[in-house]
Amino acid sequence: MNDSNATLLDRYQRPLRDLRISVTDRCNFRCTYCMPEEIFNERYEFLKRDKLLTFEEIERLVRIIVGLGAVKLRLTGGEPLMRQEIEKLVGMLAQVDGAHDIAMTTNAYFLPQKAQALKEAGLQRVTVSLDTLDNDIFRAMNGGRADVDQVLRGIEAAEAAGLTPIKVNAVVKRGVNDHTIVDLARYCKDHGYILRFIEYMDVGTLNGWRMDHVVPAKEIAERIDAVLPLEKAGRSYASETALRFKYRDGGGELGIIASVTMPFCGDCSRMRLSPEGQIFTCLFANQGVDLRAPLREGATDAEIAQLISETWRSRTDRYSEIRGAGGRPHDKVEMYYIGG
């Protein structure tokens, strides 16, 4: 479906290549950097079912967006495994011509029950969020909702089902879990998982972000290198978010996503689809473009494609670069709503 002779480019000549699909705004964790418990408690109102895109609506929009150039699909949330029968959606997306890579980012809590069905439906791999192996710190970071062992069982289930290579994402916050990063690196190295450390980001407006909470990528790499020697590796593809390193002993790789101290806006090729059908052209956007209304009002595929194309062509997002240059922060959509 993709027309290589008619690449969809934004104002900075960045192509559309990645689509991140948030299937729900709900999550069973309350991570302090994403859905802090004091805000997302029992009184918080999540989206009602009729506001969510149906699987059929998601599949239709994905077909259109893949037709405009996206080749990599990521299912996110919230926690995507909280969407009932998510494997049914995976099976539908696996049939989309032109989608070459279908993955999911998850906290892994429900993977022991879901991994095999997801694999059979067509999911290729998972990225698991695990910020530390220290159980007390992990519980403090996730709002007391789960233990490390429960996540590790999910990872093991994914590995047994063949959802590999498995990536592990760890958000690093100074004074909270930064002293545990070497242990996590060693564990992932020993088990063959690809670890990605993520600089603590000012996603949304509710997580109390401050620059002094950020552990820069350079410092993370130096701490790991002092114990597990590293060497730099090139990017796997132009828009890859992580700075890649290989272990000098040949035991796998490590990545660091440095969107705060080393922004990569210039190569960003990502569009995000929210649970209720808005598209966002930046993780730090403050507003999206609604596709649900035209979808439900009878718009044709061509009309929806035109709206998406116009949105991408007018895209000028480069928030991380502006913030890094001392620019003024603005209100932003919350990460739980559009995924990481």
> Residue 7 pLDDT > 90, yes or no?
no
What backbone phi and psi angles, to 5 degrees, belong to 267? -115, 10
CATH number of the domain bearing residue 185: 3.20.20.70
> Residue 51 pLDDT > 80, yes or no?
yes
With bands split at pLDDT 50, 70 and 90, how would you rate the model's confidence at 287?
confident
What does pLDDT average to over the chain?
91
Q: What percent of the chain has pLDDT over 70?
A: 89
**What's the rounded mean pLDDT across residues 319-334?**
60
**What's the rounded mean pLDDT across residues 94-114?**
97
Instruction: Give the pLDDT confidence score for residue 211 in this predicted structure.
Output: 85
Separation between Cα atoms, residue 192 and residue 166, nearest integer Å? 8
Show the CA angle centred on residue 284, arms to residues 311 and 291, nearest 5°.
35
On whether residue 98 sits in a domain, the answer given is yes
Instruction: Give the pLDDT confidence score for residue 237 in this predicted structure.
Output: 66
With bands split at pLDDT 50, 70 and 90, how would you rate the model's confidence at 4?
very low
Instruction: Give the pLDDT confidence score for residue 320 in this predicted structure.
Output: 72
**Cα torsion angle, 254, 257, 263, 268, sign:** positive
Which carries the bigger pLDDT value, residue 27 or residue 320?
27
Separation between Cα atoms, residue 23 and residue 25, nearest integer Å? 7
On whether residue 326 sits in a domain, the answer given is yes
With bands split at pLDDT 50, 70 and 90, how would you rate the model's confidence at 33?
confident
In this structure, which amino acid lies at residue 137? I
Report residue 176 as tokens.
Answer: 């909270």
Q: Which domain holds residue 333?
A: 18-338
Overall domain count for the chain: 1
Instruction: Give the pLDDT confidence score for residue 142 in this predicted structure.
Output: 97
Q: How big is the chain, counted in residues?
A: 340
On whether residue 273 sits in a domain, the answer given is yes
> Residue 336 pLDDT > 80, yes or no?
no
Whether cis (ω within 30° of 0) applies to the bond prior to 78 is: yes
Separation between Cα atoms, residue 325 and residue 62, nearest integer Å? 35
> Residue 189 pLDDT > 70, yes or no?
yes
Instruction: Give the pLDDT confidence score for residue 313 in this predicted structure.
Output: 98
On whether residue 13 sits in a domain, the answer given is no
Angle at which helices 55-67 and 86-93 cross, to 10°:
30
> Residue 5 pLDDT > 70, yes or no?
no
**What's the rounded mean pLDDT across residues 26-34?**
93
Instruction: Give the pLDDT confidence score for residue 1 in this predicted structure.
Output: 41
With bands split at pLDDT 50, 70 and 90, how would you rate the model's confidence at 317?
confident
Which carries the bigger pLDDT value, residue 118 or residue 282?
118
Separation between Cα atoms, residue 282 and residue 289, nearest integer Å? 12
Instruction: Give the pLDDT confidence score for residue 314 in this predicted structure.
Output: 97
In this structure, which amino acid lies at residue 262? M
Neighbours of 231 (CB within 10 A): 9
pLDDT digits (tens, 9 = 90+) for 224-281: 999 999 999 987 766 678 899 999 999 999 999 998 888 778 889 999 999 999 999 9
On whether residue 287 sits in a domain, the answer given is yes
pTM of the predicted model as reported, rounded to 2 decimal places: 0.92
The DSSP-derived string for 122-185 is T--EEEEE---S-HHHHHHHTTS---HHHHHHHHHHHHHHT--S-EEEEEEBTTTTGGGHHHHH
On whether residue 4 sits in a domain, the answer given is no
CA-closest candidate to residue 239, choices 82, 121, 72, 30: 72
Separation between Cα atoms, residue 264 and residue 283, nearest integer Å? 12
> Residue 158 pLDDT > 80, yes or no?
yes
